[in-house]
A and B are shown apart, each in its own frame.
Chain A
Amino acid sequence: MEIIDNSATENYEESPGKTSRPKWGVVLVWVFVLGLLAVLGLGLVRTQRGSIRVGDRVPDLVLTTFDGDEIDFADHHGQIIVVNFWASWCKPCEQEAVELEQAYQMYKDQGVVFLGVDYVDTETEARAYLAKFGITYPNGPDLGTRISQAFRTIGVPETYIIGPDGRLAAAKIGPYLSLDEIVNQIETVMAEYK
């Protein structure tokens, strides 16, 4: 009887067509796995890209200020735009708040636009912060975090200087340590576009 069983096993092995998976199923599984890997890879690339780089074109964005005005970045092509990301809960932002206002007062008549983007903040505290540091240049909330996502910010404070051609000319990750540092960066950008 055992001999007969062996022969049965031989027959079983000789007929692989009965046990192989259908090819369409294998293809489907592979397509799905590769698709999943592609999606994960794209996500990884996006997260690893870091902030927007100098020379990159800055997308056209609209900042709605706390006063309800809409400031379209595209309307300021041909001008230097200083975009500062801040938040009322951000202690390092306080280090540069007064200096940024001073820089704004220095350059507002030279065609340099200053914009403050309030990142993930509450309006009451944001307004109190602006009053506390006497900030007068246009400021508004980052609605839907669309602006910070466009700049791919990693935190606050961060400041980006956009050249007249709409490309990023300079960036500062972290707070400016002095008014001179702000002035130097703006002057450098102005010299580049002369």
Chain B
Amino acid sequence: MRSNLLLRKLQMAMGITLGFILLSQVFALPAFAQDGGPTDDDVNVIARELYCPVCENIPLDVCPTQACEQWRATIREKLVLGWSDDQIKDYFVDQYGPRVLAEPPAEGFNALVYILPPVLFAIGAFILFMVMRAWKVEPPTPKGKGVSVESEDPYIAQLEQELRRRDE
């Protein structure tokens, strides 16, 4: 009798538990994967190629000002709309001018940024070459030339003669 009562209670408990599990499955919200919206990394890929004119020398991805936060929000908005990286950069150039780009276009005065370094390097190499050439020591004068020098100075000529005599 006692074991039957225990078994019945156990069955009831199991039934209730099973019921809860089934109910939780019915009312549970389906867990979907992320909807693929732009992440901070996606935004920063573009942001690090832009500079806000207000915050000089600080790339947009690390700039802490409110203006830069707004810019990053704009990038996110454009990414949600499906704009490409280039379209977004072009938008910022249209709005704020080419100076917002980390790599300015090679046009007009900006072209100097691309032309000057190689030209300066070439000039430096040329100067270095000229200096090295000036440092180069002349090869020793041939023996014949030494003889002619000997004959010009009587003291040296005599000294040379003495040395030669000793060698013999």
Q: Which A residues lie at the B interface, using CB under 8 A?
A: 3-5, 7-9, 11-12, 19, 21, 25, 29, 32, 36, 39, 87-89, 120-122, 124-125, 141, 143-146, 149
Contacts and interface: CB of A to CB of B under 8 A. Distances in A.
Contacts of B95: 141, 143-144
Contact of B138 (A11, A120, A143): A11
Nearest to A144: B97
A19 B95 CA distance: 57
Interface string B134-168: 10011011010110010000001000000000000
A101 to B, nearest CB: 23
Given A19-B133, A120-B96, A144-B96, A4 B140 contact: yes
Nearest to B77: A124
Interface of B is mostly: helix
Contacts of A25: 126, 130
A93 B141 CA distance: 82
A72 to B, nearest CB: 20
A145 B93 CA distance: 10
A141 B94 CA distance: 11
B119 interface: yes
Interface residues of B, number: 34
B67 A89 contact: yes
Nearest to B72: A122
A4 B153 CA distance: 12
B7 interface: no
23 contacts: A5-B140, A8-B138, A8-B141, A8-B145, A9-B138, A11-B138, A11-B145, A21-B134, A25-B126, A29-B127, A32-B119, A89-B65, A89-B66, A89-B70, A120-B54, A120-B96, A121-B67, A122-B70, A122-B71, A124-B74, A125-B70, A144-B93, A145-B99
Given A3-B146, A5-B140, A120 B130 contact: no
Contacts of B93: 144
B123 interface: yes
B140 A120 contact: no
Nearest to A155: B54
Contacts of A12: 137-138
Contacts of A88: 70
Nearest to A126: B70
| Pairs A-B, 4 closest by C-beta atoms | A4-B146, A8-B141, A89-B66, A12-B138
Nearest to B71: A122
Contacts of A87: 67
Contacts of B126: 25, 29
B141 A39 contact: no
Residue of A12, A19, A122, A125 with most partner-chain B CB within 10 A:
A122
B52 interface: yes
B73 interface: yes
Given A3-B149, A7-B146, A120-B67, 9 more contacts: A7-B145, A19-B133, A120-B52, A121-B67, A141-B95, A143-B94, A143-B95, A144-B96, A145-B99
